[in-house]
């Protein structure tokens, strides 16, 4: 098995004190941005459950909402898929992306307004999906 390059060494650690500990153990120059990102998420999704999953901050709201993690040259936002990304394709131009991942360079200001829009849209998508699941699970099938 090949070793993985540029893996954040603290990601493998279990964070018993949650997101506070994750941010406190991040490099000093990144901590402010991580706090800003966390605040932006909590502003638009105040009812989201915050915890550590896969070694990074994770927010659950009626399903998977968003993850974030710092790396050597960027902060990654994870689990933002289509159609949410498609809604903001123009605003996301210029950011490196791959399936479900948006990389925000550390040497640039965080696009907090855009992040809030993405998280809010994902929360709305999760709410709609939950309503759909409830509707389908409450329908009775009668077999004669």
Name which CATH class applies to 18-138. alpha beta
pLDDT for 1 equals 42
Percent share of the chain, pLDDT over 90: 74
Distance CA 38, CA 58 (A): 10
pLDDT for 131 equals 86
pLDDT value at 3 more than 60: no
Least Cα distance to 62 among 4, 9, 5, 134 occurs for 134
pLDDT for 133 equals 78
Average pLDDT over residues 105-131: 96
* Strands laid side by side in the 101-105 sheet: 49-53, 56-60, 64-70, 74-78, 101-105, 96-98
pLDDT value at 141 more than 90: no
Cβ(79)–Cβ(123) below 8 Å: no
Start-to-end Cα distance in the chain: 56
pLDDT in tens, 95-117: 999 989 999 999 999 999 999 99
């Amino acid at each position: 098995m090949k070793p993985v390059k540029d893996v954040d060494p603290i990601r493998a650690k279990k964070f018993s004190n949650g997101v506070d500990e994750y941010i406190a153990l991040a490099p000093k120059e990144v901590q402010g941005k991580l706090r800003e990102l966390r605040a932006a998420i909590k502003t638009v999704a105040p009812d989201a459950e915050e915890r550590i999953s896969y070694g990074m901050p994770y927010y659950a709201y009626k399903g998977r909402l968003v993850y974030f993690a710092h790396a050597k040259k960027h902060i990654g936002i994870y689990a933002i898929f289509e159609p949410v990304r498609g809604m903001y394709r123009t605003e996301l131009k210029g950011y490196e992306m791959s399936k479900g991942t948006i990389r925000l360079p550390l040497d640039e200001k965080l696009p907090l307004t855009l992040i809030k829009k993405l998280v809010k849209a994902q929360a709305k998508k999760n709410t709609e999906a939950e309503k759909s699941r409830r509707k389908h699970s409450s329908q009775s099938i009668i077999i004669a």
